[in-house]
Structure 1
Amino acid sequence: MTVPTRQPNTSRPYPIADHSASGQAPRSTANGWVPVIIAGVVAAFVIAIAGVISGLIVVGIRESSMPDTAPKPAASAPQASVPVIPPAAAVPSTIAARTSVASTPENLDPLVVQRGVVQVLGESYGQEDVREVKCPAGQPVEVGTVFDCTAKVDGIKKSVTITVTDLDGTYEVSRPH
């Protein structure tokens, strides 16, 4: 066993490095925990902000990938555009004349209007069970033309009002009544 070279310090029973001889500054001070606490609080704050940002990104990704199943409120009645058919008697025998008749159609195609009614009732009004849609033939493509189609909605016979809104064959479909 060796003999100690200096007397133990009774006020500090644990050995502490003495930097006075080497000229180095002491590594800790009486306030040594303050920087550690501040660093911990800053780190917790940064982690919280990063968590909120990543959460918002995940929610945004989920919402953008989810289909919209709720019916969309319509500011005005939903519209559909359908091809129109000319009357059979008006079809000329030459190609040039057919082109001019096709560019100015006279009547709506009732089968296409019926498919459009099913689509609009499902997408805009949330009606899932739409069957047996029947629309009258010979409806002219004139702005303001109004006619009714019948349909079975959830097994109940109802009607919808069709209103032609432009000369291209676009029309509005009312709620079933």
Structure 2
Amino acid sequence: MKALLRKYKSVVKFILTFLTVYIVLTIGYKLYLDLSDGTRYYPDYLTNLVAKQSQSLINTVGYKAEILPHPNEPSMKLLVNSKFVARVVEGCNSISVIILFVSFIIAFASKFKPTFIYALSGSVLIYTVNLLRIAILSIGLYNYPWREKILHTVIFPLIIYGMVFLLWMFWVNRFSKKKKQHA
């Protein structure tokens, strides 16, 4: 057993680091959600912010977007030209995807500064692409409501998770300390 652990030390370290960071960040995010009472920002600050920023993006491209608190669930209703097209729920704010991204980057950490800068810039990119995704999805649902399933369950998850995968591969192949150790 010791020989196996020694042989696969870097793999075990990666898995343990990834799981530790992922669990800590997920618990922190869960605490944030539990402490969000929804009185000032409904349903929580980040989801509310994403809804407002998506509304602004949609308005910028010539549609009239409106957001309203959903009366029956913790989400924001998104209307395009007065037509209800989507709900912006907690899962739409990209934080869970960012937690996954950051956990991987830290598990494959390089020196502190490049790791921090890459994790931060990658998180900003994920957040920005997510806003674009919501805006494009909403406009797509307004114009092509019969394409809802493929837009929401295939194309847009593929975009966001595909981008995360490419960011991971770029990190591993370009900056990661682990790559340099095995070169």
Under TM normalisation by the shorter chain, which class is it?
under 0.3
Greater share of helix residues, 1 or 2?
2
* TM-score under structure 1 length normalisation: 0.19
Q: Which has the larger radius of gyration?
A: 1
Greater share of strand residues, 1 or 2?
1
Answer 1 or 2: higher relative contact order, Cα 8 Å, separation at least 6: 2
